[in-house]
Chain A
């Protein structure tokens, strides 16, 4: 039997190579609905552009361990005099591993008085949450917090 005639190209090397390519395709196809830290970086880049983010001023308050990722109480406060000369314009919230990296953006008016917001969010996995504040002088400040989630939200079936 002339096997080499039936599969003229199928050397061991090409079979392995095509096999690994197929495996790569399958990994792409079954990629779970999760944002990656890279997607979060891209989402942050979309908001801040080429500016650099400094650490500090922002205080992100979120429990370090949450049982239920469907409602995680979160509050962000920013040290700022909040007057006409210097105030916080926007507070953005991002996460690493939910299906979408954006959580919320809060736009504070000139009369806000205090740069503090609180809400409840969903977290699909144990991950890092980042709060970024945009000040009226154009600078960006951030704080991050690691949250351990035991019951994930967002993607569970009904």
Chain B
């Protein structure tokens, strides 16, 4: 199972701009490499990442093979209310990983 690391501040004030850091373990095989026997290694990458929070999509990324293995993303959002933040990675070969993180806004 895919392993994800997510860093969201545990507490924030309403209206505060918070940084969110995510890292998903994935090989991100580019599809441009060849094995020792000369066969092309098929592409296996994460193609999209979505972060939703407080009923809206706050950040979305389209990823290409030029993203390093174990895609790491840092982005910002405004703290609005307490609740879960959901993260979803989708990729080749039906790869789907979902994670949630709780934030307290007061």
Q: What is the bound-complex CA distance between A99 and B18, given in angstroms?
A: 35
Q: In the complex, identify which listed stretch (B2-10, B71-79, B90-98) lies at the interface while the others stay far away.
A: B71-79
Closest CB-CB distance, B62 to chain A, in whole Å? 4
A156 and B33 contacting across the interface, CB-CB below 8 Å: yes
**Known contacts A109-B59, A111-B58, A158-B41; is A117 also within 8 Å of B75 by CB?**
yes
Chain A residues touching B, majority SS = loop
Closest CB-CB distance, B67 to chain A, in whole Å? 6
Q: What is the bound-complex CA distance between A98 and B24, given in angstroms?
A: 23
Closest residue of chain A to B18, judged by CB?
A: A113
In the assembled complex, A4 has its CB within 8 A of some CB on chain B: no
In the assembled complex, A100 has its CB within 8 A of some CB on chain B: yes
List of A residues within 8 angstroms of B71 by Cβ: 119-120
B: which residues have CB within 8 A of A?
Answer: 17-18, 30, 32-36, 41, 54, 56-69, 71-78, 80
Task: Other than A114-B76, A158-B41, give 5 A-B pairs with Cβ distance below 8 A.
Answer: A106-B60, A107-B61, A108-B59, A111-B80, A156-B33
How many chain A residues sit at the interface, stated as a range, is 35 or more
A112 and B66 contacting across the interface, CB-CB below 8 Å: no
In the assembled complex, A20 has its CB within 8 A of some CB on chain B: no
B61 and A105 contacting across the interface, CB-CB below 8 Å: yes
A: which residues have CB within 8 A of B?
Answer: 33, 70-72, 75, 95, 98-100, 102-123, 153-158
* Interface hub of A72, A103, A110, A119 (most chain B Cβ within 10 A): A119
A104 and B58 contacting across the interface, CB-CB below 8 Å: no
**Known contacts A107-B60, A118-B73, A119-B74; is A113 also within 8 Å of B17 by CB?**
yes
B66 and A100 contacting across the interface, CB-CB below 8 Å: yes
Q: What is the bound-complex CA distance between A98 and B65, given in angstroms?
A: 9
B36 and A116 contacting across the interface, CB-CB below 8 Å: no
List of A residues within 8 angstroms of B74 by Cβ: 75, 116-119
Closest CB-CB distance, A62 to chain B, in whole Å? 13
A103 and B58 contacting across the interface, CB-CB below 8 Å: no
B65 and A122 contacting across the interface, CB-CB below 8 Å: yes
Q: Which single member of B18, B54, B63, B77 contacts A104 (CB below 8 Å)?
A: B63
List of B residues within 8 angstroms of A120 by Cβ: 67-68, 71-72
Closest residue of chain A to B71, judged by CB?
A: A119
Closest CB-CB distance, B101 to chain A, in whole Å? 16
The 6 closest A-B pairs by CB, nearest first: A113-B17, A118-B74, A114-B76, A113-B78, A120-B68, A107-B60
